[in-house]
Chains A and B, each alone.
Chain A
Amino acid sequence: MKGWFRLKKVVSREEALSHLKEGQTIMIGGFLAVGTPETLVDGIIEKRIGNLTVINNDTAFVDKGTGKLVVNKLIKKFIGSHIGTNPETGKQMNAGEIEVELIPQGTLAERIRSAGVGFGGFLTPTGLGTVVEKGKQKIEIDGKTYLLELPLRAEVALLKAAKADEFGNLIYRRLARNFNPMMAMAADLVIVEADEIVPTGSLDPDEIVTPGIFVDMIVKG
């Protein structure tokens, strides 16, 4: 193995969790908990790291995914597209214990992607004529109206991969991909929980979905 690719990013779960702090903004991969790094989420609960702003598509279920963080009251603000599968989120929202910002799912994905790829924002027709357009700039292009949506970043991204090599190149499995590849590019610190960790050079370059340069730490799931 030559040069930079020799770098091995595999760390202990304890080491990875030591970088998570009270009050951080954390992106977490997953759609209804499929593609969510459960071991890392459980670590946040064990260490009672609270007051978090969590970005995830949904709050999954009371006993799965980011839903567990809601139940443990570790989230101050949730940013996502759906909270309906976890009754606890709605309950805490109505009680004023958690702030919820709802964003159309495609807009959420693209806002995260924008942050990762250096866009200052993007124009989308989604949300026009609805509450989503409130406070947003409207821009007309070729006679069509769009909303200007801005990038969404986080301090930390917690991702789930099926396979990682020691450099951090990632392969996902089935529907566990979802938001993970975009989040890999949109946070200051990117921690991946992988079911399988293999030596660098053993993955087929054509099959790698997320380039390892985005990944800072890998934990065995």
Chain B
Amino acid sequence: MTAPRELIVKRVARFLQDGDVVNLGIGMPTMVANYLPENVHIVLHSENGFLGLGPTPEPGQADKDVINAGGAPVTILPGGCCFDSATSFGIIRGGHVDVSVLGALEVDEEGNLANWMVPGKLVPGMGGAMDLVAGAKKVIVSMEHTTKKGEPKILKKCTLPLTASHEVDIIVTEMGVMEVTPEGIVLKELAPGVTVEDIQAKTEAKLIIPEVIGSME
């Protein structure tokens, strides 16, 4: 059986189209780059100011001035370029990023997203997340379906402070693929072995069930 995270990032990767400009969030979304279908070539944007984000450098080859948005050493691919932060966020806000993939603490049926703070516990700051979610053409949330305690993260209404409202398009979890529509969250695909009842039981929002549901693999 495929590990849950691998299942998620593999499916997210299949949403990406040849030529897309993509921003991948820190953590699980970063793994998406390793699972691109053959013949799909994308340009990765990094909010700290470059296009052409490449893989982790070989041992001993790290450049102190080449990091990703999480501070990890990375590389710049041939053809990549560097720019200032205003340009970087102009690229984001101006609609030049086709897809933003990021994690979530909570998502709700209106497409609201909360992923930047937990009052009283965790206040790291929003960094570039609010701009990315508001600015990218398509926002894909890639996350585990429930919290570590097994509580739903896909809610009727987010309880945590929002990152952006009405901006999420697609939710991919280890249980299935969902699309946020004006009517609510539509279940598009199920992971192998998961039933409609299973996924609904772990989801607070009422899922809209179409006649045909695809398979996530």
Q: Give A contacts to B, CB under 8 Å.
A: 31-32, 34-35, 57-58, 80-85, 90, 93, 100, 102, 104-110, 112-113, 124-132, 172-182, 209
A130 CA to B112 CA in the complex, in Å? 10
Residues from chain B with Cβ under 8 Å of A131 in the complex: 161-162
Given contacts A82-B124, A105-B131, A106-B93, contact A32 B84 (CB under 8 A): no
A2 CA to B173 CA in the complex, in Å? 65
Residues from chain B with Cβ under 8 Å of A179 in the complex: 84-85
Residues from chain A with Cβ under 8 Å of B71 in the complex: 32, 85
Interface 9-residue window, one of B27-35, B43-51, B194-202: B43-51
10 A-B contacts, Cβ less than 8 Å apart?
Answer: A31-B67, A32-B67, A32-B71, A84-B127, A127-B130, A130-B162, A132-B130, A174-B66, A179-B84, A181-B86
Taking the complex as formed, is B183 at the interface, i.e. its CB lies under 8 A from any CB of chain A?
no
Residues from chain B with Cβ under 8 Å of A109 in the complex: 84-86, 88-89
Taking the complex as formed, is B92 at the interface, i.e. its CB lies under 8 A from any CB of chain A?
yes
Residues from chain A with Cβ under 8 Å of B162 in the complex: 129-131
Taking the complex as formed, is B83 at the interface, i.e. its CB lies under 8 A from any CB of chain A?
yes
Closest to A181 in B: B84
A128 CA to B86 CA in the complex, in Å? 19
Structural contact, B126 and A129, CB atoms closer than 8 A: no
- Interface size (B, Cβ < 8 Å)? 41
A180 CA to B90 CA in the complex, in Å? 16
Q: Which of A35, A81, A90, A128 contacts B127 (CB 8 A)?
A: A81
Residues from chain A with Cβ under 8 Å of B135 in the complex: 106, 125-126
Given contacts A131-B161, A175-B48, A175-B50, contact A90 B84 (CB under 8 A): no
Residues from chain A with Cβ under 8 Å of B67 in the complex: 31-32, 34, 175
Closest to B125 in A: A82
Residues from chain A with Cβ under 8 Å of B76 in the complex: 174
Closest to B162 in A: A130
A80 CA to B125 CA in the complex, in Å? 8
Residues from chain B with Cβ under 8 Å of A209 in the complex: 84
Closest to B64 in A: A34
A192 CA to B85 CA in the complex, in Å? 18
Q: Mark B126-165, 1 if CB is under 8 A from A, else 0.
A: 1111110011000000000000000000000000011111
B108 to chain A, nearest CB (A): 12
Q: Which of B50, B89, B123, B164 contacts A106 (CB 8 A)?
A: B89
Structural contact, A82 and B66, CB atoms closer than 8 A: no
Structural contact, B127 and A177, CB atoms closer than 8 A: no
Q: Mark B93-127, 1 if CB is under 8 A from A, else 0.
A: 10000000000000000001000000000111111
Closest to B76 in A: A174
Structural contact, B47 and A105, CB atoms closer than 8 A: yes
Taking the complex as formed, is B206 at the interface, i.e. its CB lies under 8 A from any CB of chain A?
no
Structural contact, B63 and A105, CB atoms closer than 8 A: no
